Amino acid sequence: MKIKLQKKHSSIEYNRWGYFFIAPFFIIYLVFSLIPLFSTIANSFFETYRVGLMQIGPKFVFFKNYTEVLTNSELPKYAENTLIMWLLGFIPQILISLLLSIWFTDTELRLRCRSFFKTVIYMPNLIMASAFAMLFFVLFSDSGPVNNIALMTGKIAEPIRFLFRTDTVRLLVAAMNFLMWYGNTTLLLMSGIMGIDQSIFEAARIDGASPLQIFIRITLPQLLPILVYVMITSLIGGIQMFDVPQILTNGTGQPNRTTMTLIMYLNNHLFSRNYGLGGAVSVLIFILTAALSGIVYSSTLKESKKSDGGKK
Amino acid sequence: MKSFNGILAIRRTVIYAILVTLMFISVCPFVILIINSTHLHAQILTGFSLMPGRYFIYNLKNLLGNPNLPVLRALLNSILVSFGNAFLATYFSAMTAYGIHMYQFKGRKSAFKFIMAVMMVPSQVTALGFVQLMEHMHLNDTLIPLIVPAIASPVVFFYIFQYMKATLPKSIVEASRVDGCNEFITFNVIVLPMIKPAIAVQAIFAFVNSWNNYFLPVLIVSSKNKKTIPILIAQLRDADYMKFDLAQVYMLVCIAIIPLLIAYLFLSHHIISGVTLGGVKE
């Protein structure tokens, strides 16, 4: 009895070490993320900006920054730009990733060089987005290699001004996002498919189901939670779209700010030190991502509860 | 049965054709990049040629000698910041994961829930307060704000935590306690080597993310000798296009991308298995 008590006592002593191990994380998070988050929120209720060298404010204005941003700025337009460019990249991305992940995991097809293909399609994910955008800027400029090759082969009579047309700039941004992310999405979907019980596929095949039937009746329903996860995390990433359009259009969102994204707009306020409006934009983006992550958490939570229930 | 095999063969051929096309699209921009970095500015202007030129070293020397672009200094800064991030993010995330995994202290569950909740907060939404705070602390225009916050990396924590849950038996730590080992020494000497694979994967990701980061550094850093590579790229984009030396542009993009790609080709096996392990958060 005495020994037992002592043992319990000493394990409590040990457990205090937990605080020591987690302290650095929480201290640094508090200082470098939590305090900035709260001061960003606080800033959104004050009028603070600069005119030349003159500092205006801070003056408490309550929700004025929010009404200003939502009704009197081009924020809705930038949200629309962001959404369009995200969709243009995401739709082909999810379709091609789905196909690739099914082919790579198909035991009947037995494709060769799978790991080589995986290595190559994942590669663009590691590339510096700003450098990639700079590369596309020179490749697609009026006298760049793409126009050059098209002219030489006689496909076009005069150079296409890729960087001065809304549709082409948006497509270029979407294409870069597609190239950078389809490999990553393929790998995620593959791990999802490999998590499905393989005997279901074999049973379906023995029953004479075609690949298309197997896909619609088995793979897709089983894969749905991961598809939702991929879609929402990609949307959260899409809301944060910045480096690629910023460098490609040099921060102008040319032509006529039709490729300006939410974060590019925020970045403009941060640079011009309009902390009131910048704060309001930050808080709105924060609420948007928080709501979306809420959906991810509740759906994965539901999923894990379901699987727990199955085991019992 | 034969027609069945025939269909399979056709499907295979079509799939290979699609894969090769995708591969071509993925690789093409980088092939043009490397080829053009070996040509002179005037050659690039006259038209694209598939043949690599002989001016790679010449262009490299030109770029490094460019007085407006402190490329070597930026490379040094980028390497410093990225290694700092990789080291701090993995070491302290392992510490945090160990603390929550191994000890039953009060508030353990809420600590875990807190980290999970903040995992998705984008760094852009706190950037305003962050920049202000760094000005108050007189840390703006230093590299410290780009390195130290890595100590609190929720995503790295989550990955290492999952790994520990699957691989680190509590009995091993208890054995070292019996041997009279201090808890912190146990962590450093016994636990860290056991979770090396997870640390390696996350160190690579932390390094890459930091290397590629543009949004925050450009808000923090202003003086010439503190700039990182992405800032130089933006600076070059901002310059007058008519005055571009295209050979130098391609070369700078090469410096930003190619070393990482070469490292990737050696480590791709670890990276790809790492993506699938950490990707699905359950």
Domain boundary among B216, B238, B260: B238
Residue with tokens 């470098």: A32
- ipTM value of the model? 0.89
**CA–CA separation, B78 vs B50, rounded Å?**
32
Q: What is the pLDDT of residue B281?
A: 37
Provide the percentage of residues in chain A whose pLDDT is more than 90: 44
In a domain, A181, yes or no: yes
Q: Which of A11, A12, A17, A224 to mutate to test the interface with B (most CBs of B within 10 A)?
A: A17
Task: Indicate if A98 and A167 belong to the same structural domain.
Answer: yes
A-chain CB neighbours of B281 within 8 Å are 229, 296, 300
**CA–CA separation, B16 vs A111, rounded Å?**
8
Task: Indicate if A172 and A265 belong to the same structural domain.
Answer: yes
Q: Which of B12, B119, B128 sits opposite A40 (nearest CB)?
A: B128
Q: What is the pLDDT of residue A306?
A: 57
Q: Which of A130, A236, A267 sits opposite B230 (nearest CB)?
A: A130
Structural domains in chain A (count): 2
Task: Indicate if A96 and A3 belong to the same structural domain.
Answer: no
Region A210-224: mean pLDDT is: 87
pLDDT in tens, A94-126: 999 999 998 998 877 888 888 888 889 999 998
| Strand, coil or helix: B143 | coil
Q: Which of B115, B148, B253 sits opposite A135 (nearest CB)?
A: B253
User: Which CATH number belongs to the domain containing residue B152 in this structure?
Assistant: 1.10.3720.10
pLDDT in tens, B139-154: 989 999 999 999 999 9
In a domain, B249, yes or no: no
Task: Indicate if A16 and A159 belong to the same structural domain.
Answer: no
Task: Indicate if A102 and A208 belong to the same structural domain.
Answer: yes
Name the B residues in 82-141 with CB < 8 Å from any A CB. 92-93, 95-96, 98-100, 102-105, 108, 111, 115-116, 118-133
**CA–CA separation, A171 vs A165, rounded Å?**
10
| Interface contact A33, partner B, CB < 8 A | yes
Task: Indicate if A152 and A238 belong to the same structural domain.
Answer: yes
Residue numbers in chain B where pLDDT is lower than 50: 1, 279-282
In a domain, B86, yes or no: yes
Task: Indicate if B158 and B192 belong to the same structural domain.
Answer: yes
pLDDT in tens, A150-171: 888 888 888 889 999 999 999 9
Task: Indicate if A18 and A148 belong to the same structural domain.
Answer: no
Q: What is the pLDDT of residue A169?
A: 95
Q: What is the pLDDT of residue B278?
A: 52
Q: What is the pLDDT of residue B144?
A: 95
Q: What is the pLDDT of residue B138?
A: 93
Averaged confidence pLDDT in chain A: 87
Task: Indicate if B126 and B12 belong to the same structural domain.
Answer: no
Q: What is the pLDDT of residue A310?
A: 38
**CA–CA separation, A7 vs B50, rounded Å?**
74
Task: Indicate if B230 and B96 belong to the same structural domain.
Answer: yes
In a domain, B281, yes or no: no
Q: Which residue segment(s) compose the domain that B41 sits in?
A: 2-54
In a domain, B260, yes or no: no
In a domain, B126, yes or no: yes
In a domain, A309, yes or no: no
Task: Indicate if A165 and A265 belong to the same structural domain.
Answer: yes
In a domain, A301, yes or no: no
**CA–CA separation, A166 vs A106, rounded Å?**
40
Structural domains in chain B (count): 2
Task: Indicate if A183 and A240 belong to the same structural domain.
Answer: yes
Compute the half-sphere exposure of residue A208: CA atoms within 13 Å on the CB side of its CA: 1
Q: Which of A248, A280, A254 is nearest to A73 (CA)?
A: A280
Q: Residue A142: what residue type? A: D
Task: Indicate if B213 and B178 belong to the same structural domain.
Answer: yes
- For residue A290, is pLDDT > 70? yes
- For residue A52, is pLDDT > 80? no
Could A282 and B127 be called an inter-chain contact, meaning their C-beta atoms sit closer than 8 Å? yes
Q: Which of A22, A11, A196 is nearest to B95 (CA)?
A: A22
In a domain, A201, yes or no: yes
Q: Which of A139, A103, A220 is nearest to B31 (CA)?
A: A139
Q: Residue B204: what residue type? A: I
Task: Indicate if B39 and B97 belong to the same structural domain.
Answer: no
Q: Which residue segment(s) compose the domain that A29 sits in?
A: 1-33
Q: What is the pLDDT of residue B280?
A: 40
Of residues B6 and A139, more confidence is placed in A139
Q: What is the pLDDT of residue A215?
A: 86
What's the pTM value of the predicted model, to 2 decimals?
A: 0.90
In a domain, A283, yes or no: no
